[in-house]
Structure 1
Amino acid sequence: MLHLMQDLQGKPKLIHFLLLQMSWNMVLSQLHYIIPEESKHGTFVGRIAQDLGLDIGEINSRMLRVVSRDEKEYFQVNLQNGILFVKDIIDREQLCPDIQFCIIHLQVIVDNPVQMYRVDVEIEDINDNSPAFFSNMNSLVISEIKPAGSHYPLMEATDPDIGTNSITNYELSSSDYFALDFQKYLNEIRSLELVLKKSLDREKQSVHNLTLTAYDGGKPRLSGSTRIVITVEDFNDNAPLFDHPFYQCTINENAVKGSLVFKLNATDPDQGKNGEIFYKFSNLVAGETSKAFSLDQYSGEIKVNRELDFETMNKYEIQIDAVDNGDVQMVGHCKILVTVVDINDNPPEMTVMSLSLPVPENSPQGTTVAIISVHDKDSGSNGKVNCYISEHTPFRINHAFTGDFSLIVDAPLNREIKEEYEVTVTARDEGLPSLSVSKTIKVVISDVNDNAPQFQQAFDTIFIKENNPPGSHIYTALASDPDVGQNSFITYAIIDSYINRIPLSSYISINPENGKVFALVSFDHEHITYFQCHICATDAGLQPLSTNLTLNIFIEDINDNAPTFTPLFSPLIIKISRSAQFGHHVTKIRAVDLDSGYNALMSYHMKGVMGKIPFVISQYTGDISLKRPFADSDNEEYRLTVMAQDHGEPVMTAETEVVISLVEAGEEILYDNQESKGNVEEFSEANMYLVVAICIISSIFLITLIAFSVLRWQKYRDEVNQLKENYRICSNTGGSWVYSQQTQYRVCSNAVQPKNDLIVFTPNNSVIPNNEDRISQQGTLVNPSYQPKHPNPDWRYSASLKAAMQGAVHMEGAAVLRGAAVGLEPQWPTVSSATTDPEGGEVSPPVGAGVNCNSWTFKYGPGNQKQPVPVPQIPPDFPENFIIPGSPAIISIRQDQPSAQAQKSNFITFGKKEETKKKKKKKKGKNQEKANNNTNDNNDQ
């Protein structure tokens, strides 16, 4: 199409005509179907009757038929359903070769009336043909002189398919010399060439076998291949080559003319005349040599041309050229050494050809020290020479070639043991008589860095007094190295480490040349007492060796710190009772010294003591005590100067003042308490830590105690609620509180031991509450529908009554207290029996029994005559303090004899007795004195 368009350029009329023809054909074609080639018989093509608008019922009667322009009918119509189907298999390549669009034109004809329709069926190409080459093998001949980049056209493959099913790509088998180059025009390959990547060498590879493969673009992808045989044409690019560039041979001096001396052999890898060789003497050969020998130019044989004279010339060097017959001749060279053999009239000659000195001491066995060449002008046994070493040395002679020997290392060498050897090599022939020659070779052993520097000891310890001047010399590291030269040049360095996160290099340094260690800082024993450093000694060898020295450095203490008293405040004020006796501990003086050892050993003395004082101080403990009781003549106050001194050199001291005042017994405690409040802020750091620790422990204990109390309180509440369900408070008909005539009852639930006592008072109320009336957790009767009426509107509850009505009741254990066994039941006052008079009285106990309170008090006004106060009949044997078992409360029943007092108030007191308050105050004073004494003793300690 591209070529057609190119041919049609400049011809617009023809182009318009073709376009018009194509559009006319499409108009004339009423139906257009597309089917792939190779479709089988019966393949559906289209519903032709339906597409043409024909009635399917009439196509049979109207004789519908399909007529093709070709003689062969490829399609047929089913007259039952009007479907056009394939009758014979269609091969597009046979039907339409070299045509892009393969269309079969059909005519559909029906009768009655006669109608004709135009139908085109396009045959779509499938990839049913593989690419194929014209020949299975192609041969090429390429000269090895052709340059890289040369192109050689190749025969292309053919594929009858079209479009993407045709050939789209070529591939060449892997080759170091050839590549494939093909050009595409509109996805169609137009040129295929073989490209030479690099120059050929026939002598390396004369024939190259390649495989060319063509691929189409169909699915599945098909391919075809052919073999390309490339023969490399020879070019005279190789010169003749001898087996060796140098030859040796001998000839007896009495050899006759024509005797063979040597036969040369040269080869040429070229072919034909390029590989034909002839020999000749080189132009460098002297005239005497060319006269003494003859050379056959074809066989390469060298023969004696005249009589030889060993004494005139015993050795001939013959240079031979081998020339080929190429257009451009190329020449190969070799040299032949011909030695004339004489009788044994000459001693061997020894030559040291190569002497490698000095010999490194780490040379392995077999290292060549010298090459010795030995030859004898004689021949045969007379010229056969053996070399040996007479004395014992770490060397030996190794036979290399004829007349050549090597002196090699036979044992390990050590320069530090022996650094020079004199080796005598003797060469002796086997003639009769035997002749020999000797040669002394001086072998010097060179040093290698095989010895690391060594310290005299791996560890060392030094002591440095503190407060040393910075930069002072403290140590000298000395290492030795048996090597010599730069291998023995030692440098010193300190391996860096850290002391308390500070680099060691900040403390000490070392001179890298002489190993002197200097202190960069002034050390303080109180901050650092010991540290360790590692000194590395390294030689200057090419592979440097090193060793380490561990230096333990101890900082010695000197007496540079004076003692310090604790606490720091001065003077120390002490109060002591005048009644203190002999040996009484007054206080303790303590001083600390930051030094160590004897420099920190303290001794205490009193300084400037005038007269006889009643105090003495312990020299080593600092305890101040009384050495005698106080007398009236003693002063009221003593000011003592206590001196603490250490045992260092020089001795360092510290002083503090202690003020001791004499007071009466008990006053020193109060004073100490006041002083302790003022000195809280002067606690030392250690005391502060102790206080914090005590506070933390106390807090933990308090939290534990509170948690335990809450848990126990919850348990008590549960048990009280259970008791309230099981026991209800009953009232008697008399309506008064009485003692039981029988005994005291103890109620315990769930087999739990009673811990508190419950006193139940029966209220004077004839009305029994309903079952729904319950005892609340606070110990009062609770009935939502029942509202009690007070006998007097002015009845007043005290604050304690209101609080008790809201309090909790301990009901774990209960006890019922009744009246006496005999006699009238005394009328105890109750809430219901109170007077209606506004001035009748005030009830200030909790209503109910078992309330957790310490007192129960009833008070009546003096003018309340309507409600007389009953006087209980207390048995004579009733104890004054009656304690209910299981309860810490004390019941005190007291009746005053005067009637006036009895009218004012009667008390039933639970808890502490009021009568003992004065006694307790007196006891409290005595306990206070004891506490003051104990506090004074603690301060002394």
Structure 2
Amino acid sequence: MCSLDRVHLNLHKKPSDQVQLRNGILINFNIISSQAPIFSQKSYTFSLDITNNRNKTIFVCQISAQPYNINRSHLVYEFLSSTKNFIINPDNGAIIQNIDYNNNNSNHYYILSGNKYSLFSINNLGQLYLISSMLNRTSEEYFELVIMISSSSSSSISYCRTNISIIRSPNWSYFNCPIMPIEWMIEEESPIGTKIGNIKEILLMINNNSELIEQIKMKLNNNNNNNNDVKAFHFNSSTGIFISKYRLDYEQKHFYSFSIILEPNELHCTLSIIIKLININDNPIIFDQKSLIYTINENNLIPYYIGRIELIDLDQLFSYEYKYYLKNISSQISIDLTTGSIILFDKLDREIHGEKLQYEIIAIDNINQKKLIDVLIININDLNDHGPIFEKDFYQININKSSQIGSIIFQIIALSYDPIMNGNISYYLINSSSIFSIDKYTGNIYLNEYIPSIITNFTLIIEAIEDGINLIDRTNVFISIINDDYIFFKLENLNQCFIDENKLNGTNICTIGKDSIDFIYYLIDPMNLFDVLSNNGTIINRKIFDYERDKHKYNVTIIVQDRKNQSILLSSINVTIYIRHLNDNPPEFLTKNFTKLLYLFYPLINTIIYKIEFIDKDQSNLTYEIINDIYTSYTLRTYTNSIE
């Protein structure tokens, strides 16, 4: 593969010079300064690839020049020094067509007609050339040439006719890109589909109706920050026409901006488009609602400036002169006729005047005689200036003794004249009790423990405190305990629980409960001396009692639970069990009292000779006396009874 040869010819700055190719060939050239033609370029660069090329002659490049005298349209090109590697066509130009079909080198070729402006030339090889740059200054779309072919070998002459069509590429250097943004205007609320403007018309006007405009393509610039603005319009990229998609409102947006990119890219032209809306009087004058609603604290100073009534004119196209009036005259407020200033003359109390005051107002335009009517609203903001108050000083409630732990037995409520945001009330129990508690926020009173049987009533002292102020109120809750033990117990047997001493274990003492399929009985006995039958509450002993050794009575508790859910305690009762005494022990002498008696004389009658003590385990110790009732006999007796 052969390498490419590159030649640079500087044919303009110097009248003569020499260039050397990479293979060492030197090319010399001279330019006659007087009336010398002007080359189209200062230097020429060409490449040559002869890989697999068997032709003897290869076209390398074209060098063209402009005659000094435009009337001399024919130039002859030649190397100043000969070279065997390159030849130059003296009638140099771009080869348009090869007329030599028979590869006959003895032919001569002549252009007879159609070579208008002397644009073309033909060499002896039958190659038709473009030899003048005047083509860019012509407007013809084609040229028809008649060529004569003369053969030197046969002295024959022939003719051929060829048509050369001119395809002209756009010369974008003549295109003027608008520097200033393109601005269009459209009335607000114009119908959908209203034509706004045409880009092509503006380009044609700037470029003097240049035909280049028809070859330009247009597209929206998607990299524009205002890309949302273009969504309000429809753009025809072929015609350059913009039309509206929506009814545009001046009060919402005054103008829209975006950009259009023109192609081909070599134009480097981006058009800025600005569409401005023309404001029309399509919005009525109205009250500014913000100027009609106010909030002030109660207990205000008087007189008190509240605010000022304002009007809104969105279009601002016409002048007006409104006066302000109260529809119904009030001693509480006044409104300035001209400025609309609102003055309050009454000290407001939310608990008296309510949450808000309303006044109907009128605005009349003295110029256009238009009337506006609306409502002025003054909201009264509550201050925390009222303490809590209970409805009653004393509450009385009844609850069952069998009430369940955790149940709500009552709710106490204190009222406040202040609204919810300032009337947060907390509740407290003043007299502490483990049986009852109260919810701080709701006032619900809960049962914390089962009520003992001995309690028949209870009084709770409740205090209510309102948050943020040092104001309180108190009330009493009297609780009566309703004994509903009869539902679960045989109360008539409550005092009949006796057991004789020496009774065997498991002896029935008494039956307190009732037969039921809904509840069962349990016994609470810390000493574990008794038990109870769960089906009917019969108490039995688990110990043989001795009256002389054991306690004479015992206290136990019987509880009743729900049979299905034994975690629910229904009721309870305290029971006292008595141990009855039996005379089951004989008396015994105290041996320490035995002694011998010796008398030296006879004691007097009824004299106590000696006292004898006995032990009786069933009752108590006994003392017996020996007396002589007569001189010949003695009597043994107690203090109350005598035994012979």
* Band the TM-score falls in, shorter-chain normalisation: 0.3 to 0.5
Higher strand share: 2
TM value normalised by structure 1 = 0.27
Which has a greater percent of helix?
Answer: 1
TM-score, normalising length: structure 2: 0.37
